[in-house]
Every structure is written in structure tokens, then in C-alpha cells.
Chains A and B, each alone.
Chain A
Amino acid sequence: MSNQALWRDTTHLCPKPLDLAFYQALVANQEHWQPRSTTVLTGFDGLAVELAAGELLSLQLRDGAQIVHCYPLNPADPDERYWAQHTVTTEGLFLTRYGRLWGSMARHRPMLTFLEDTVTPPRRDGAVAGRHHPCFSGSSTPAFWRAAGGASDIPSGWHQMAALVEQRGWDPLSVLDKEDACLFQKGRIDEYTQHLHLLPSDALAGDRVTLFAEFDLVVLLALSPFLDGSAPVATPRPRPVDVTVCERVAEPPGWPYLNMGYPDLDLYLDEKGVRSDEPVPTAGRES
């Protein structure tokens, strides 16, 4: 298949090719997905899920809407982490089936691809306009939790993930400096002010998202103390979420695709294969 045939019909600012047939085949084969583990995420202490390339991660709501913050990393090089800013330019602000979470420089490749999203479109009659699963919303930050009046003894989504990062011996100030995807969260973009208004989620018990791992990952998950996105309550009680990993369903197609333009990563990576920490400009592109 030529590179050109993989371009989606999209109005996104920075479209990237997608082998849609590959992912559609995975979805068509859904009855053969084999769970290898299920963990019930119930508290505000987060969960780090190890995913091998080609495995699936499913998040299913048990008792109703619950926002789950999601931040994938490369465990072999945590400098490679979810890049929400660029995901917005490629996928739009809200994610759904066949949308992808993109990783940071220098490799800048897809990390996870949505195969299932039972929330979108919302099914509740009369629901306020809006969509689910923003690439980022900022609602996991301590600043927003505090500003909304959240209790100081309840950890924000960021604090939950920071504890998981520290357990692995990584520096949360470096690794967790970007934004997380906010699964099951609902938001609405105001046409004129361009503010993102966060709304109670339309998700219901049983709703699920499933993501395909494009390479080996650690995915940090944290339940939002905003629960379904309503205003904070004094003692929020998180709604449980089933976190299921399914055995490898396919060899990921890899990135870049055949005959696709791709930069020379030697300009950015050192001899260990990680981003160089030398304070030098890119060779041949000095200012």
C-alpha cells in the first residue's frame, strides 16, 4: 500500500498516515481478544500498567462515569512520553476510535491507538453538547483541583501519577511535565471564547475504551477526584474501573510506515539511543 493511500480524509492541522484497514481488522476480530489480567482501580493511588507491543488496554466503568487520567511512557526511556500538544494538532482535541496518542520527540511516534470507544457519541437525550476523552484538559493538575475547591487531603491526578513515577526511580518533575489524556471526561469548546468547559460525563456503567499498544509501554492511570466531572465534593468516592490487559492481538505496524519521510534521529539521540543532554544545537541547523 502506498504511503499516500494511508492518509486519512481529515481536516486536522497536522494529519499523519494511518493504516486504517489494519485497525479495522483488529476490531473485527474482537471476539478473539484474550484477557490476561484484570485489575480493579478503586482508589486515588493510581496504577501503572505494563503493556507489551501489540497488547490491548481496556478501561471499563463499573458503577458509572469516572474520569481516568492516562499518561503513557516508554519504560526503557521515560523521556519518551505522551505529547498532548502535538496530539491535538493531529487528532483534534477529543479522541475517539482510531485516534492516537502521540509520543514526544525525538521519535515522535504513535504510542496508543483507540480501538473501542463506547461513549462517543453521547446517547443521553437532551445532553449538553460536548464530547469525551480530551487529549488534555488540565483537570488533573493540583492548581485546578485547588481552584475548584477540592479538599487538600485528596491527591490530584498529577500527584497520583507522580507517586507512581517516583516508585520507579524516575524524576516526576522531568517525566510528568506534559499533559495527560482525560478518558471519559466530557468537555465543550466555547465557540467564541475558546474556553474548554468541563462538564459531567455522559458515560454509563459498562462503557469502555480499548487501546492498542504500538510499542512496549508503561501506562500511568489515575482516577480523577472530580469523579464524573461534577463540581468537587468534600469526600469524593471514586467509582471503580476495570483495567484489563489483553494478550497481544497483532504485531504493530511500526513507525514510520514504508516510504514515509522520517528525519535522521542521529541528529537528536546519543549513543545510548536517548535524547542527547548536551547543550548543543542540531548539527547543520545552528541559529
Chain B
Amino acid sequence: MMAEQAGVPIAVPFDHGFYEALIAKRDDFLFRSSHEVPAGRGYGFHVGAGQAFRLIQTAAAQIIDTCFASADDVREHHHSGTQVALEGTQVTRLTRVWSNPPWNRPLCTCIADTVRPQANAANTREHATHGAHCNPHLWTLYTGQHPRSCYDNLRAGFAQLGYSQRAIHDNQNLFQNTALDPVTSDYLLGEGNSQAGDYIEFFAEVPLVVVISICPHGTGSIPIEDWDEGEVPVYPVRIEILDTGVTPVPWPQ
């Protein structure tokens, strides 16, 4: 992971050896809990510092809009600006998830990503850091209907943990296949590559509140202007929480 400013690489401290050792221990992580989230719904859960959590595709490719916040103060949460500046626009193994100023620290680190994107002309890949969430505005604008949008699902997930809709923040679009066009800068959407059993796994650097929405857009394969032309296939996902037995490295390093 290397950001760049005016052609000068910017190296953010990263203890590669620590994460390599952590990943090597993954088979020894202890299973703590599992929860299946029904298709098209939201869900919120806590993860302790040093625990890992896994988001699993159970049936087919399914976009999961995901909010990451500090359990100590949910005003600290994922921040796309910091993320894009320091790590880029996509998430995969060894990408850290950064929080907003003034904290500006890693909230969690991706330690596994089993999705294998297919080569394509637009270079779209899974797991975007900056695509926002669908909301009642988009659905009523494009379809005249207001289903459970990701905004509503995230609101419901935060409410499960005692937080209001004001805790909803800029999320990541896990399992969404995207790219930014290098010429037009359009936000491109491709067909999801993930399959049943694929997962992404994060190591919590701090105590976390994680809230997910199973996007009613499904895998993103149906153009937005066709959302009203039939049922969009939407699938459940499973969440697993594991004890790693590893204490996070304090920040700043």
C-alpha cells in the first residue's frame, strides 16, 4: 500500500511482519459466533479489539454495504477521503480501513479476501471504499418505489445497537465490483465475481461497531434504470466472529 503525492511515494507505517504472522495463525482462530442476515436486511454487531470478523457470501454474489465505527465513539468511523489517499479505492488483503479526522487511524485491517476477480477491460474489482449507499432518493427517482434501501437497512442496524440514523456514515461497498474510469472518472459497475463461500475477513484494531446492509441492488448486475423491471435477486450473508488471541499494535506506531 503506497500513496503518492506529486510523484513522491508516501509510506504510512505498517508492520508487515505482524500481519504476516497474524495471517499465518488464521487456522488457529477460535470461532465465537455466527449470524445469518436475511436477504435485503440490515444488521449491527460489536467486534472486540483483536477479534476478527468474516462476511461470507452464502448463496451467490451479494453487495454488502458496510459501516465501520469505533465502539468508544461512533463519531469516529470509516472515512473514504483518508482511505483513498492512503490505501486507494479498493480493499483487499492487507488493506487497512481508516477513520476520519482527527483520529485518522486504522480501525481494522483486511486479512483475507477470497474473491478472485475476472480480468475485464474496465479493470473493475470487488470491494470499493467510496460508493456510498443506495437510499430512498435513488429508489423513488428510478423506480417510484421505496423498498428497504441500504440507508434504511443501515439505520435499522444502528438502531439494533442503540444508535440513531445520524451514526450512518460513509460506508464501504464490499463485494461490489467497481472501478473509476481513468479518463471520464465515471464510477463504473461490473458483474460481481464472488461465489457462494467467498468471504472477506477483517482484524479489529480497536473495539468496533459494524453495521451492514444487504443491498437491495443485489450483485449490481442490473442497471439502475432497470431496477423497476422485475425482482432484483438478493441473497443472505453470514457473519462470523473469531478470537485471534492477538493483541493489536497500538496506534500511532
Contact partner, A138, options B75, B81, B102, B156, Cβ 8 Å: B81
B253 interface residue per 8 A CB criterion? no
Contact B158 A279 (CB under 8 A): yes
Contact partner, B84, options A136, A156, A286, A287, Cβ 8 Å: A136
Contact B224 A13 (CB under 8 A): yes
With A144-B82, A188-B182 as known contacts, state yes or no: A281 contacts B156, CB within 8 Å: yes
B101 interface residue per 8 A CB criterion? yes
Contact B101 A136 (CB under 8 A): no
Q: How far is the CB of A88 from chain B (nearest CB, A)?
A: 6
With A158-B102, A196-B84 as known contacts, state yes or no: A189 contacts B185, CB within 8 Å: yes
Contact B10 A147 (CB under 8 A): yes
Cβ–Cβ < 8 Å partners of A268 in chain B = 165
Complex interface residues of chain A between 169 and 212 (CB less than 8 A to chain B)? 173-174, 176-180, 188-200
With A11-B184, A198-B5, A262-B141 as known contacts, state yes or no: A285 contacts B148, CB within 8 Å: yes
Q: How far is the CB of B233 from chain A (nearest CB, A)?
A: 19
Cβ–Cβ < 8 Å partners of B155 in chain A = 281-282
With A194-B179, A281-B156, A287-B41 as known contacts, state yes or no: A138 contacts B137, CB within 8 Å: no
A98 interface residue per 8 A CB criterion? no
Contact A92 B102 (CB under 8 A): no
The complex places the Cα of A136 from the Cα of B140 at a distance, in Å, of: 27
The complex places the Cα of A190 from the Cα of B162 at a distance, in Å, of: 41
Contact partner, A105, options B6, B12, B135, B147, Cβ 8 Å: B135
Q: Beta-carbon contacts of B85-106 to A below 8 Å, as 1s and 0s?
A: 1101110000000101110110
Interface size on B, as a range, is 35 or more
The complex places the Cα of A105 from the Cα of B152 at a distance, in Å, of: 11
A263 interface residue per 8 A CB criterion? yes
Q: Beta-carbon contacts of B123-150 to A below 8 Å, as 1s and 0s?
A: 1010000111001111111111011110
Cβ–Cβ < 8 Å partners of B42 in chain A = 281, 287
Contact partner, A136, options B6, B80, B139, B182, Cβ 8 Å: B80
Binds B, one of A29-37, A42-50, A77-85, A239-247: A77-85
Cβ–Cβ < 8 Å partners of B88 in chain A = 193-196
| A-B pairs with beta carbons under 8 Å apart, 11 shown | A13-B186, A84-B170, A92-B187, A143-B105, A189-B180, A190-B182, A194-B180, A231-B5, A261-B144, A262-B137, A262-B141
Residues of A within 8 A of B (CB): 11-16, 79, 83-86, 88-89, 92-94, 105-106, 108, 131, 136-144, 147-149, 156, 158-159, 162, 173-174, 176-180, 188-200, 226, 229-232, 260-264, 267-268, 275-282, 285-287
Beyond A11-B184, A276-B164, 10 extra complex contacts between A and B, CB < 8 Å: A84-B130, A88-B187, A141-B104, A159-B101, A177-B75, A196-B88, A198-B85, A263-B139, A280-B159, A280-B164
